[in-house]
Amino acid sequence: GFPRLSETFILNELLELERLGMRLIIFSLKRSSDSYMHTEVRHLRSPIIYVPEKLPRLRALRCLFMALPIYSKNPVRFMRVISEFLNTGKKERFFDLWQSLFRWLWLCGQLHKQDVTYLHAHFAHDPATMAYWIKRLLGCSYSFTAHAKDIYCYSSSWLKRKIHASQFVLTCTQYNKQHLEGLSLNGTPIVCLYHGINLQKFKPANGFKSSPPLLLSVGRLVEKKGFPVLLKACAILRKAGLQFKCMIVGDGPSRQDLQRQVKHLNLQECVQMAGSLGHDCLIPLYSQATLFVLPCLVTDEGDRDGIPNSILEAMAMELPVVSTRVSGISEAVEDGVHGFLVEENNPVALAHAMEQLLSNPNLAKQFGQQSRRKVERTFDIKQNVANLRELFLV
C-alpha cells in the first residue's frame, strides 16, 4: 500500500521528481494500513488514485463498461489479451481471478481516460505484473524498480517475461543488478540506481550523545532484519559488564516474539522497543546515538534486504554502522572504513564489533565522518533522482 512508513524511498523519489517539474499520477494497488505516516506525505501534490481492492457485482459491470472504448479500438487484441490473462491465472481461485480481471480493466479504463502513455511500477511482483498486462492491452510502455523480496521470492520465469516486455529495469544495488542481468535474455537495460537520502534533512548536529551510549537500530520487525541476533548480542555485551542502551525503532509481525525474547534474556533495563516513529522523532535519536546496528540476514525463503534506507540515514548523520555482508550492504558500508560488517546470524561477532566501537570513540567518530562523505558522493537524492528523470525522458 501507499504511502508506507517503511518505504520512504518511494516517497522521497516522488517528492524529488515533483521538485524537478515532472507531472505524475500515482496509482496504488492498496491503501496503506499504517497508523502513522511521515509528515512529508503532506507535501506530495500529485493525485493518488487507489485501485479498488474488491469490486461488488455492479462495479465489476461498470469496469466492463469503462473498457468499451479500449475494446472498440482493437476488438481482436482486446479479446486475445483477455483470454491470455485468464489462461495465465487459471491456477487462482475463480473469484480471485475475476476480481483481478476487473481491477485490471478498471485501471486500464482510468489510464485510457487520462491518456497515460508511460508507466513506472515499484516492485517486481504485483505492481510490475499489472504494468505488464496494461502494456499488453493498451500498448503503453513501462519500466519498473525491483527491490528485494520481489526479486528473490517469486517466480523467476514470470520475472523474465516482465523484464523482456519493459523499457528498462531499475534496481537499488549492484548485487541485484547482477542477478537481474542473468534473467534479461533480450538485452533489456538493467540499471543500478541507489536510493537517495535528503542530505539537508539528514545532517549531523552538534547535540549531546546519550549516556550510557545509545545503540540505535531501525527497521520493520521482520525476520530479515535480524533483530533476534541483535538481542543475543546485547545479552553478550551486558554479561561482559558494558553499560549501554539499545533502542529498536519500528513495528511489524515479529514484535511480540521480540518482546518475549527481551524478557527471556533479562534485557528490560537496557533494550527499548520504541515502535514506529516518523523522521521528526527519529532524527534526534540518530543525533544522540553512538552507533547504528542492523544485523540483516537471508531468510529460508530467500527474502533479504537491498541496502536498508535506515543504514543510509544513519551514515548521513555521521554514525558508524555495524551490519552484515548480506546483499548490497557492502556497497554502502565498507568494512573498516564506515563501520564493521560481520557474518549474518552471528551474535558473538556482532557483539565484538559493537564493543570495538563502544570502547574506541575516536574510531567511531572517524567511521562516522567517512560515512557522511560516502553518502554525499553516492546516495544524494537530488543527483540520483535527476538521473532517474533522464531515464524517463529518453
Which tens digit of pLDDT belongs to each residue from 195-224?
999 999 999 987 678 899 999 999 999 999
Average pLDDT, the chain: 94
Let me know the angle formed at the C-alpha of 99 by 94 and 103, rounded to the nearest 5 degrees: 150
Of the candidates 275, 383, 372, which has an alpha carbon nearest to the alpha carbon of residue 314?
A: 372
CA distances from 6 to 61, 80, 122, 136, 325 (A): 36, 39, 14, 32, 22
pLDDT of res. 34: 77
Tally of CA atoms within 13 A in the half-sphere of 136 that contains its CB: 20
The answer, yes or no, to whether residue 11 has pLDDT greater than 80, is yes
pLDDT of res. 364: 97
Q: 133 φ, ψ to 5°?
A: -70, -30
User: What is the mean pLDDT of the segment spanning 257-277?
Assistant: 97
The answer, yes or no, to whether residue 58 has pLDDT greater than 60, is no
Please, are residues 101 and 72 in contact by the beta-carbon 8 Å criterion?
A: no
* 35 confidence band (pLDDT: 50, 70, 90): confident
* 65 confidence band (pLDDT: 50, 70, 90): confident
Percent of the chain with pLDDT over 90: 81
Range with the poorest average pLDDT among 21-35, 83-97, 108-122, 374-388: 83-97
Please, are residues 217 and 244 in contact by the beta-carbon 8 Å criterion?
A: no
Residues 324-366: pLDDT tens digits? 999 999 999 999 999 999 999 999 999 999 999 999 999 999 9
Ordered by where they begin, the domains of the chain are: 8-198+383-393 (3.40.50.2000), 214-378 (3.40.50.2000)
C-alpha cell at 33: 494500513
Q: How many CB atoms lie within 10 A of CB 84?
A: 13
pLDDT of res. 6: 84
> Hey, what's the torsion of the CAs at 210, 226, 249, 370, to 10 degrees?
50
Let me know the angle formed at the C-alpha of 224 by 219 and 228, rounded to the nearest 5 degrees: 80
The separation between CA 373 and the C-alpha centre of its own chain, rounded to angstroms, equals 23
The separation between CA 179 and the C-alpha centre of its own chain, rounded to angstroms, equals 18
pLDDT of res. 57: 64
The answer, yes or no, to whether residue 270 has pLDDT greater than 80, is yes
Rounded-to-integer distance, Cα 226 and Cα 218, Å: 11
**Three-class SS of residue 1?**
coil
The answer, yes or no, to whether residue 249 has pLDDT greater than 60, is yes
Rounded-to-integer distance, Cα 128 and Cα 110, Å: 17
> Hey, what's the torsion of the CAs at 276, 279, 280, 284, to 10 degrees?
90
> Hey, what's the torsion of the CAs at 255, 222, 1, 6, to 10 degrees?
90
The answer, yes or no, to whether residue 31 has pLDDT greater than 70, is yes
Residues 171-187: pLDDT tens digits? 999 999 999 999 998 88
H/E element, 295? none
Residue 241 corresponds to which amino acid? G
Percent of the chain with pLDDT over 70: 99
The answer, yes or no, to whether residue 266 has pLDDT greater than 80, is yes
pLDDT of res. 98: 83
The answer, yes or no, to whether residue 312 has pLDDT greater than 90, is yes
Rounded-to-integer distance, Cα 298 and Cα 148, Å: 11
Residues 68-120: pLDDT tens digits? 999 999 999 999 999 999 998 877 777 788 888 889 999 999 999 889 989 99
pLDDT of res. 93: 77
Let me know the angle formed at the C-alpha of 284 by 271 and 278, rounded to the nearest 5 degrees: 85
The answer, yes or no, to whether residue 32 has pLDDT greater than 90, is no
